[in-house]
Amino acid sequence: MDKKIKIMLDAGHYGKYNRSPVVREYYESVQMWALCELLAEELKNYGFEVGKTRDKIETDLEVTKRGKKAKGYDLFISLHSNAVAPGGSEKTDRVCVYAAFDGINGSHRLASALAVGISDLMGTSGGYVKTRKSDNGDREYYGVLRGARSVGCPLYYLIEHSFHTNARAAKWLLDKSNLVSLARMEAKVIAGYFGAENREVKGDVDGSGELDQADIVLIKRHIVGSRELSEEQKAAADINGDGKIDIADYTAAKRMIHKK
């Protein structure tokens, strides 16, 4: 990576918005906000500079203005889950990545990699690159994408992580460990596109830049319940990447130290 790539992330909605009609615990805004936070941290591990269109989930911001936050950035991604229209099939279960309507800057290549990767991980019927033009056919239909394009952001996408009107998909997205896996996979695909390498040191819970005995102690204390870790620390402590921190991670960390 010859220059520092800047990525702007947008969690699709604010507050508690777009509740699933089939899994009542699910709100699109809440789960996509959680995914946005996780994805931001994963991207930083690759050396990307990451911004977010909003600092708090309660903050509302008009869609075009959110897209315009991508001014000076190399990539804009708006995170969503979809919904079928009333009367549609609740079995609809697919991933769609909306990209530039005219394929500008070769945008469909990264879009395709994201669509396929997300679909494979979520186990949906497929992953597709979509475009949607305005009624008069000369600009982007979605306000966030229109805003990103208007300020010169070269790559911009709106990702629909399947449909929250599908019970299986909504339950999958409600699982924190699945969101962790999703963030890691999306960051890996993006990093591959830009040629970035992961700089994260697995097990470095205290942020010292290396895995040592102090990290082992923190992992153990978290497992027994005497120390709560931050989300960033939990990501570092999850050695095997299964979305949870348990004795398997503790054992793996000790083994890694002994190999030094």
Q: What percent of the chain stands above pLDDT 90?
A: 74
- The residue-averaged pLDDT of 21-42 equals 97
Nearest to 98 by CA among 56, 59, 143, 138: 143
Domain boundary among 145, 161, 194: 194
State whether 155 and 244 are in the same domain.
no
Q: Is residue 205 part of a domain?
A: no
- Rounded CA separation 162/83 (Å): 8
State whether 101 and 220 are in the same domain.
no
Domain range holding 174? Answer: 6-194
The predicted pLDDT at position 2 comes to: 63
State whether 222 and 134 are in the same domain.
no
Domain boundary among 194, 223, 239: 194
- The residue-averaged pLDDT of 28-40 equals 97
The predicted pLDDT at position 255 comes to: 84
- The band of 252, judged by pLDDT with boundaries at 50, 70 and 90, is confident
Length of the chain: 260
State whether 119 and 229 are in the same domain.
no
Q: Is residue 220 part of a domain?
A: yes
State whether 111 and 227 are in the same domain.
no
Q: How far apart are the first and last CA of the chain?
A: 29
CATH number at residue 58: 3.40.630.40
Please provide the average confidence, as pLDDT, over all residues in the chain. 93
Q: Is residue 53 part of a domain?
A: yes
The predicted pLDDT at position 210 comes to: 80
Tokens 């989930």 correspond to: 57
State whether 142 and 67 are in the same domain.
yes
The predicted pLDDT at position 201 comes to: 74
Which of 148-152, 202-206, 214-218, 256-260 is least confident?
A: 256-260
pLDDT value at 209 more than 80: no
The predicted pLDDT at position 62 comes to: 97
The predicted pLDDT at position 88 comes to: 81
State whether 58 and 125 are in the same domain.
yes
pLDDT value at 249 more than 80: yes
Residue 97: strand, helix, or coil: strand
Q: Is residue 203 part of a domain?
A: no
Q: Is residue 185 part of a domain?
A: yes
Q: Is residue 1 part of a domain?
A: no
Q: Is residue 207 part of a domain?
A: no
Domain boundary among 162, 194, 226: 194
State whether 88 and 141 are in the same domain.
yes
State whether 182 and 144 are in the same domain.
yes
Count of the separate structural domains present in the chain: 2
Which of 35-39, 134-138, 199-203, 237-241 is least confident?
A: 199-203
State whether 15 and 52 are in the same domain.
yes
Q: Is residue 202 part of a domain?
A: no
| 157 in Cβ contact with 99 (< 8 Å) | yes
State whether 20 and 60 are in the same domain.
yes
Residue 173: strand, helix, or coil: helix
The predicted pLDDT at position 203 comes to: 86
Instruction: Summarize pLDDT for 119-174 with one digit per residue, the tens.
Output: 999 999 999 999 999 988 889 999 999 999 999 999 999 999 999 999 999 999 99
The predicted pLDDT at position 136 comes to: 86
- Rounded CA separation 141/102 (Å): 12
Instruction: Summarize pLDDT for 41-82 with one digit per residue, the tens.
Output: 999 999 999 999 999 999 999 999 999 999 999 999 999 999
pTM above 0.75, yes or no: yes
State whether 173 and 250 are in the same domain.
no
